[in-house]
Structure 1
Amino acid sequence: MTWLITGGAGYIGAHVVRAMTGAGERVVALDDLSAGGSAPERLPEGVPLVIGSILDRELVDRTIAGHEVSGVVHLAARKQVGESVEAPLLYYRENVHGLTTLLEAAVAARIQRFVLSSSAAVYGMPDARLVTEDTPCLPINPYGETKLAGEWLVRATGRAHGMATACLRYFNVAGAAPPESADAGVSNVIPMFFEALTKGEPPLIFGDDHPTPDGTCVRDSVHVADLAGAHLAAARHLAARDRPGDLTVNIGTGLGVSVRELADLVAAVTGRTEPAARVVGRRAGDPARVVASVDRIERELGWTARHTVRDMIESAWQGWCLRVSGESKIPGQST
């Protein structure tokens, strides 16, 4: 079968493409290249790339028919929390209407398997030591709302049209495999620390008075290569099913790491202990602790994360240094 991977030329999407093609799956990528860091050069050689938007129904139809697509892995979406607060209409159009258009095309083509990239943002600010898939979903920003609405839409479509579906709720994603494919954005905590250190500025820690062991927020960070492997496992799980059904799983490590611990690890990996991290006031809406329960994904897909937080930081730092020095060569990029 052939899998359509939307957002396939982005940071996470290209890792998913690499994992699936490396395992012998046939894929075609669809990406409008609007996200920072999305580039054709991210894709392995020989992977077809269709440049365009999932909002373009005619293009999606042609892509599905022309490449004989029989399954979809949907990653294309807007994903910046702050931007979603400022531009909710943009997020609902791209993340919900775009998904609606894609599902309509999939139903018309009688595609029977659909994997959705979701997010731990659907949980909002959970009051739980470990967040399970049954933890109430109470998103606190438009980004999380669109991801939750997307899950509802995918499951309802699956039930109505005999489509096997999977919704994958990512926790914090970091790292690169190989380093040249690192995230080019600076919206997550690890690249934010890198950017500050590169500028000779202190990395910022938002609040040290949370009810956690060291007072800083605790998060669950998963290596992007492990995340890509989870997509492969989900796709193959759906492909092997005789009957339609839906699956919703967290993708994390089940281990919490505090922001202070991350700052210390970044200093150790980079060798840049000065300037030291500086504590500033809390950010509104930051939950004290968000750590995944990973029992269901281990049980249902036989998947477990293999990389450590140090692995994530080391690979991300190598990629950061390559990009800053202007020497970055993404696999598949011509010299």
Structure 2
Amino acid sequence: MTKAFAARGAEVVVVDRNPPPADDERVSTIIGDLNDPEVRLSVITEGTAGVIHCAAITSVLQSAGMPAETYQANVANTAELLELCRKHSVPRFLLASTNAVVGDVGEKTITADMPLAPLTPYGATKAAGEMLLSGYAGAYGITASALRLTNVYGPGMKHKDSFVPRLMRAALSGDTVRIHGDGRQRRDLVYLDDVVAGVLRVWDSGFTGRAILGSGRSISVLEMVETARRVTGRLLPSEHIPAPRGEMPAVVVDLSASERELGYHPTVSFAEGLAAVWQDFLHDELHADRRDSPELDSVIARS
């Protein structure tokens, strides 16, 4: 995301708890937590063209175990950022949201106009964020977009706790993959590059309201595991465990409105995207081995 905007010549400022993996002179990074008022004040100033707010607690399981922290990260911080945008006349705000705001709709296809009915703290906080966004748009004229993302995956997600990085870690270590329930529950997984392309289209068009950004194809957890076995060439043994509360049987999204209004057309298949993620994990593993090995360090120093 940051690279895409920087490549256009935009002055990009990122807030992150951790330093970026590589320096980019076109991107300024503020190392800090959005819970800190000073961090928020340092990033939103007069002349800011817009905010793309992706910071959140995104794990459904984590949110169930820490609802107060999830509220602070996903609702309170969003409210504080919107208020700073109002005070500094920032004209545009894009919020990374989720289709979990509509709750469990069974096998129905999810559209952007479905009523809000979240079943988890994560879904509820994202629904609250959307309502705040709508309120600030209506009262103060902020160009506001709620982007309901499906399961986003791609390089750079080694630290995440979602299913794709868990598959990759298991492939590296030989550990067993835990599958909730029978594994037939379906999810829409969208590759990072497709999401970035969608965000750019939202930004360029001045789109307001809700938009679903996904791949448009839902696959079962069992299919994900089989694809990971083919891509990695690893055995990936698996075991089935009880599904937690709030586990949706399917996430099937309708992209027709996003295609029509934004010209959004995802292009990366799950197998292609997963292969890129696997290479990213292998690369990190190789460099970790080099850092841990005195012999390899000395070779690097001589080269």
TM surpasses 0.5: yes
Query: 1:225 maps to what in 2?
Result: 193
1:132-171 superposed Cα distances (whole Å, 9 cap, x missing partner)? 1122322111111111000000111011001111000110
Aligned residue runs from structure 1 range 167-178, under 5 A: 167-176=146-155
1:68-105 superposed Cα distances (whole Å, 9 cap, x missing partner)? 31211111222222221122111111211111111111
1:5-29 superposed Cα distances (whole Å, 9 cap, x missing partner)? xxxxxxxxxxx11122223433211
Q: Does 1:271 align with 2:233?
A: yes
- Give the count of matched residue pairs: 291
Query: 1:134 maps to what in 2?
Result: 113
Question: How has the CA–CA distance of structure 1 residues 183 and 43 changed in structure 2, closer, same or farther, with 3 Å as cutoff?
Answer: farther
Query: 2:244 maps to what in 1?
Result: 283
Assess if the C-alpha contact under 8 Å between 2:86 and 2:140 holds in 1. yes
Query: 1:179 maps to what in 2?
Result: none
1:155 to 131, 134, 144: 134
Assess if the C-alpha contact under 8 Å between 1:130 and 1:254 holds in 2. no
Distance in 2 (CA, whole Å) between partners of 1:270 and 1:62 is: 43
Task: Give the letter aligned to residue 157 of structure 2.
Answer: D
Query: 1:111 maps to what in 2?
Result: 90
Assess if the C-alpha contact under 8 Å between 1:17 and 1:43 holds in 2. no
Query: 1:84 maps to what in 2?
Result: 63
1:209-250 superposed Cα distances (whole Å, 9 cap, x missing partner)? xxxxxx611110000111122112111222xx7xxxx32011
Query: 1:93 maps to what in 2?
Result: 72
Distance in 2 (CA, whole Å) between partners of 1:191 and 1:41 is: 18
Report percent identity of matched pairs: 29
Query: 1:195 maps to what in 2?
Result: 169
Query: 2:14 maps to what in 1?
Result: 29
Task: Give the letter aligned to residue 215 of structure 2.
Answer: T
Which runs of no fewer than 5 residues in structure 1 stay unpaired? 1-15, 177-181, 209-214, 330-334
Distance in 1 (CA, whole Å) between partners of 2:81 and 2:245 is: 34
Cα shift at 1:275 = 4.7
Which runs of no fewer than 5 residues in structure 2 stay unpaired? 291-300
Distance in 2 (CA, whole Å) between partners of 1:276 and 1:84 is: 28
SS of residue in 2 equivalent to 1:116: strand
Query: 1:17 maps to what in 2?
Result: 2
Task: Give the letter aligned to residue 255 of structure 1.
Answer: R
Assess if the C-alpha contact under 8 Å between 1:17 and 1:27 holds in 2. yes
Assess if the C-alpha contact under 8 Å between 1:54 and 1:99 holds in 2. no
2:215 to 246, 253, 259: 253
Cα shift at 1:202 = 2.8
Relative contact order (C-alpha < 8 Å, sep 6+): which is higher? Answer: 1
1:189-226 superposed Cα distances (whole Å, 9 cap, x missing partner)? 12112222323233222222xxxxxx611110000111
Distance in 2 (CA, whole Å) between partners of 1:63 and 1:216 is: 43
Distance in 2 (CA, whole Å) between partners of 1:264 and 1:101 is: 43
Question: How has the CA–CA distance of structure 1 residues 42 and 291 changed in structure 2, closer, same or farther, with 3 Å as cutoff?
Answer: farther
